[in-house]
Structure 1
Amino acid sequence: MGVTYPVALDNKLTTWNNYRNRFWPAKYLIDAKGTVRYFTFGEGRYAQTEDLIRTLLKQADPDVQLPPKTGQKDPQLTKDRTPETYLSNHRISGYVGDPLLDNKPKAYRFPTAIPVNSLSLDGTWTAGYQYFTAGENARLAFTYRAKNVNLVLAGEGTVTVLVDGKTVKTIPVAGTPTLHRLVDESTARTAHLELKVTPGIQAYSFTFG
């Protein structure tokens, strides 16, 4: 890929946990003295982040010669799309159904209707601050508008994906948090997603494109 500089890997989530990180993606800028100067969660703010990187490089070496700015503008990632949604009991948006119980297993039931840009739970789930953990007969439903749907998953097991009641795939899950493509269509549309999740699987966040 033409990358000539060192890239740190965090396969055991040591850095993730030491920063008490809860979001995907997350960006942290650290200056030449090792001080965290900026952080931001979720997609976007690319131009602002680039400006701050350039500022910190100049502070570290006033004589540094930087390349021209990329001029990148934040794309309208969620325009006419369901917004990014974190499965966090303190940060979830668009949730409908039985009240969430913090950090303890609870049996949930789908409501009679799930509006667009909303999700709900069925079966047993543990709703944590960083992720939701599936229990027995765990299902998750999401009425979304997008072309593709992604979900960060961890643990060991499988997730069966249904769109508008039809099974489209079964995804094997193994190991640390990884982004999985659930739905990939040629055009954006409104649809009803349902996931059947193996007990022990951890679900972190949805993104839509």
Structure 2
Amino acid sequence: MNQKRSLGFAAAAVVAAAATTAICFGDALGLVRSAAKPVETIGSAPFGTTSRPIEVLQDASPWLTPVPGSPKALRGKVVIVNFWTYSCINSLRALPYLRAWSERYGAKGLEVVGVHAPEFGFEKDPANVRLATSQLNVRYANLQDNDYAVWRDFANQGWPGIYFIDAKGKVRGYRLGEGKYAEGEQLIRTLLAEAGQDVSGIPLAPIEAKGVEAQADWADLRSPEAYIGYDKAVDFASPGGLKQDRSHGYSSATDLSLNQWDLAGSWKVDGEYALLESGPGTIRFRFHARDTHLVLGGAQDGQPVRFRVTIDGKAPGASHGVDVDAAGWGQVKEDRLYQLVRQPGAITDRTVTIEFARPGVRAYVFTFG
């Protein structure tokens, strides 16, 4: 079963015993390296979706944030099911809309349910997911789906995958990837009206997204998602290539073309991430995008790993992301996505460099916006 991992940014992640392939998916930019295409509108349920979605949710576990009144209380309500994973930028950019829908229509019988289906190993840890949902202000019910059982029952195809279920328990709409939020909200209002709820007094106000959750600059995005682990790594430019599952002293490439990247220092690269084994060490990427993010994991000793970001060899200044200051300084502690760059001006090809002060950090994937 082919499924998607990112707005035009693709790369397959084999998960669960059934070899489900998942893609964190935004919008098509012609950057996807697979033939799969996103859903362009609110469509019908994918082929193979369960005809009993509420029963699937009722039988699932564990619930990290419970459904008010237990999962049985979902019966007879309009339910939005969002498949997500907390390090995926496409999942994060959908959250403002899901939160707003939960707040606007909760009193009218809408329940939003998150199904957290992890991509990386650290996202399987319930403590990490609980911390992330707290930091991201995800207050609606949330289910941990480490083995992708609910994912397979719904025949979901990527992150975010959003299902619209009516009060009779039938899937009435499906959205794969970001966007079409106004259409999604109109469908919610239709389903609530069918269930006898009057939503005419609830205004269709704009939904504001801030920080890392702000929508991408799709019109000026030329860089695809780029994995660091060798399972899905492409366009690696350090001399000699990646060395699998062993420590190696890498050196920077003489030059980077657009969307190439390299390492410098002593790194051990496995299928999922690169571990800096002795410090200092650097990662560089030549990109074309407003935003640059990097999914990072903290050191095993639990102490922060300090890093510095430069853009074309200079401090980012006004182009710093939310996780670094104007001088480019930041630190890794939690295992999550870090926003390194947000450019306020014209977008051109730039090189971002991340220098880590000491070993222990893990680097997973670059994403852009």
Aligned residue for 2:349, secondary structure, equals strand
Q: Which residue of 2 aligns with 1:188?
A: 347
Aligned residue for 2:127, secondary structure, equals coil
Structure 1 residues 194, 69: CA separation in 2 closer, same or farther (over 3 Å shift)?
Answer: closer
CA distance in 2, matches of 1:89, 1:199: 20
> Is contact 2:287–2:351 with CA below 8 Å preserved after alignment?
yes
Are residues 1:95 and 2:212 paired? no
Are residues 1:158 and 2:158 paired? no
Q: Of the two structures, which has the highest relative contact order with CA contacts closer than 8 Å and spacing of 6 or more? A: 1
CA distance in 2, matches of 1:38, 1:5: 17
Q: Higher strand fraction: Structure 1 or Structure 2? A: 1
CA distance in 2, matches of 1:66, 1:7: 16
CA distance in 2, matches of 1:122, 1:163: 17
TM-score normalised over the length of structure 1: 0.71
Are residues 1:40 and 2:158 paired? yes
TM-score normalised over the length of structure 2: 0.43
* 1:140-165 per-position Cα deviation (integer Å, ceiling 9, x unaligned): 11111111101111113122101111
Q: Which residue of 1 aligns with 2:127?
A: 11
CA distance in 1, matches of 2:253, 2:112: 51
Aligned equivalent of 1:84, options 225, 229, 233: 225
RMSD over aligned CA atoms reads: 3.4
Amino acid at match of 1:154: G
> Is contact 2:217–2:290 with CA below 8 Å preserved after alignment?
no
Using the TM superposition, give the Cα deviation of residue 207 of structure 1 relative to its aligned residue in structure 2, in angstroms. 0.8
Using the TM superposition, give the Cα deviation of residue 40 of structure 1 relative to its aligned residue in structure 2, in angstroms. 3.0
Are residues 1:202 and 2:362 paired? yes
Using the TM superposition, give the Cα deviation of residue 106 of structure 1 relative to its aligned residue in structure 2, in angstroms. 0.7
Structure 1 residues 201, 7: CA separation in 2 closer, same or farther (over 3 Å shift)?
Answer: same
Using the TM superposition, give the Cα deviation of residue 39 of structure 1 relative to its aligned residue in structure 2, in angstroms. 4.7
Structure 1 residues 78, 151: CA separation in 2 closer, same or farther (over 3 Å shift)?
Answer: farther
CA distance in 1, matches of 2:292, 2:113: 31
Identity of aligned residues (%): 20
Structure 1 residues 137, 69: CA separation in 2 closer, same or farther (over 3 Å shift)?
Answer: closer
CA distance in 1, matches of 2:217, 2:292: 16
Structure 1 residues 125, 6: CA separation in 2 closer, same or farther (over 3 Å shift)?
Answer: same
Q: Which residue of 1 aligns with 2:150?
A: 30
Structure 1 residues 78, 88: CA separation in 2 closer, same or farther (over 3 Å shift)?
Answer: farther
Using the TM superposition, give the Cα deviation of residue 99 of structure 1 relative to its aligned residue in structure 2, in angstroms. 1.8
Amino acid at match of 2:272: Q
CA distance in 2, matches of 1:137, 1:122: 9
Amino acid at match of 1:88: G
CA distance in 1, matches of 2:150, 2:295: 26
Q: Which residue of 2 aligns with 1:133?
A: 275
Structure 1 residues 69, 102: CA separation in 2 closer, same or farther (over 3 Å shift)?
Answer: closer
> Is contact 1:78–1:208 with CA below 8 Å preserved after alignment?
no
